[in-house]
Structure 1
Amino acid sequence: MPPYPPGARLLARPEAVEPCPACADPLGRGYPTCPTCAERVDAFWKADWAALAAAAGDERELAAAVLAAPLGTHAWTCTDWAMRVFPCPVCRSELGTGPACPHCVKADQARWGWDHAAPAGAITANEHALRLAVAALRGAGERRDTVLAFWRLSLPFLLVGAVATPVQVGRIRVHLIAGRADELAEAPDFAAMAALADLPWRTG
């Protein structure tokens, strides 16, 4: 297998944002608390993990081997899934999510070396953002509320392959700080979220 194999490409992405049949929010926005949203999002990780595990034995042993492998040996999705299978040896939480656990913090920081070292095309901007969103929402206790709200709002659009521009990200975060999450939740895409009119106190 070549170094830095791509991840999250075994399954086709949804063609459009649709409501979740369980929570009625745009599919993915209920991640990870809504079982249906979680199942649909995690399917992209699980497909890569299943392909890797097909010829393996014990899943925990495989997870430990993946985490110990040199950077770029496995797809980023497999590293992420191994962190779910192999709990933190210090706090026993899902690895990378334990609140105030130095070992979890170190593991979470280490995973991003893949994205920065991978050659062009191994991971797209959308895939990187999708990875960030899922990691943030699974370790919710370690992020600011506005950061979590941004990723929660974004996940349905990331799931269909969209990605926000830096300018759009900046404007959406300004709207979140202004307490406009409900308005943002009604928007059909990143462009519409960023295009919300400025509040009067910002234009005077």
Structure 2
Amino acid sequence: MVQPYPPGARRLGRPHAAVPCPACAELVGRGYPTCTSCADRVDAYWLADWAALLDAEGVVSGEPEERDLVARVFSAEPGAYPWTCTDWAMRLTVCPTCRAELGTGDTGCLRCAGADQSRWAWDYAAMPTSMTHNEHALRVTVAGLRAAHRRRDNQVAYWRLSLPFLMTGEPVSQAQAQRVRTYLLAGRTEELSTSQSFADMAALPDLPWRAPA
């Protein structure tokens, strides 16, 4: 059966630019998920799709029928529901092994690791028609930040710096991403954090020992 691969995170418009969060003063998204204001702004894209699914299924949030819907989302083949709904179903599920939010447990939890790995089948099959590269990067970044303790510190720092600009829909090339990661390894986090776009981060002057001869 060919699945429809309904797109996700497109019900709400994207901001035109990254702006400071009124709560944490960082660019919106950089405090995710610990800053409530940042979390609300980011999660709104996921929640909008989940609310639409609830409405389509005639299900009320918080009622037992929502648990049945979560089970249906998990049992469906990749592509039956928007990727945002798969992610939100994981938010609503407690891992039976470690009791954390499914996919965010400690590094030794195989159930969480398996759930996190299986979600990416959607992306591999849907790109680039039903999912843009920006949407994939947004999904990876948010999932990673929700389980930051499972990732390397440098990777987490990269995601935190990137999220405000991914929220605007700014495209990011592999070359740009590699430059920003190189700057992070060089300890230039403070310089990166003052940039107003991902392109600005990637355009920082080269370090003297990397400058062309």
Match of 2:185 among 177, 181, 195: 177
The two structures have a TM-score, normalised by structure 1, of 0.95
Q: Does 1:82 align with 2:89?
A: yes
Say whether the 8 Å CA contact 1:59–1:85 is kept in structure 2: no
Runs of 4+ with >4 A deviation: none
Give the corresponding residue for 1:44: 45
Map residues 80-159 of structure 1 onto 2, 5 A cutoff: 80-99=87-106, 100-118=108-126, 120-159=128-167
Q: Whole-Å Cα distance in 1 between the matches of residues 189 and 68 of structure 2?
A: 42
Q: Whole-Å Cα distance in 2 between the matches of residues 193 and 141 of structure 1?
A: 25
Map residues 54-65 of structure 1 onto 2, 5 A cutoff: 54=55, 55-56=58-59, 58-65=65-72
1:171 is matched by which residue type in structure 2?
R
Match of 1:163 among 156, 171, 178: 171
Shift of 1:61: 2.1
Give the corresponding residue for 1:19: 20
Q: Whole-Å Cα distance in 1 between the matches of residues 43 and 128 of structure 2?
A: 24
The two structures have a TM-score, normalised by structure 2, of 0.91
Give the corresponding residue for 1:6: 7
Shift of 1:119: 5.6
2:122 is matched by which residue type in structure 1?
W
Q: Whole-Å Cα distance in 2 between the matches of residues 3 and 89 of structure 1?
A: 30
- Percent identity for Structure 1 against Structure 2: 58
Q: Whole-Å Cα distance in 2 between the matches of residues 181 and 61 of structure 1?
A: 44
Give the corresponding residue for 1:200: 208
Shift of 1:120: 3.7
Q: Whole-Å Cα distance in 2 between the matches of residues 172 and 95 of structure 1?
A: 30
Shift of 1:121: 2.0
Give the corresponding residue for 2:32: 31
Change over 3 Å in CA distance of 1:119–1:138 after alignment to 2: closer
Runs (5+) with no aligned partner, structure 2: none
Q: Whole-Å Cα distance in 2 between the matches of residues 181 and 139 of structure 1?
A: 21
- Coordinate RMSD, CA, aligned: 1.4
Say whether the 8 Å CA contact 2:127–2:133 is kept in structure 1: no
Instruction: Tell me which moved more, 185-194 or 127-136.
Output: 185-194
Q: Whole-Å Cα distance in 1 between the matches of residues 14 and 160 of structure 2?
A: 18
Residues matched between the structures, number:
203
Runs (5+) with no aligned partner, structure 1: none
**Which digits, 9 at most, give the CA deviation of each residue in 1:90-115, with x for residues without a partner?**
11111111112111101100000000
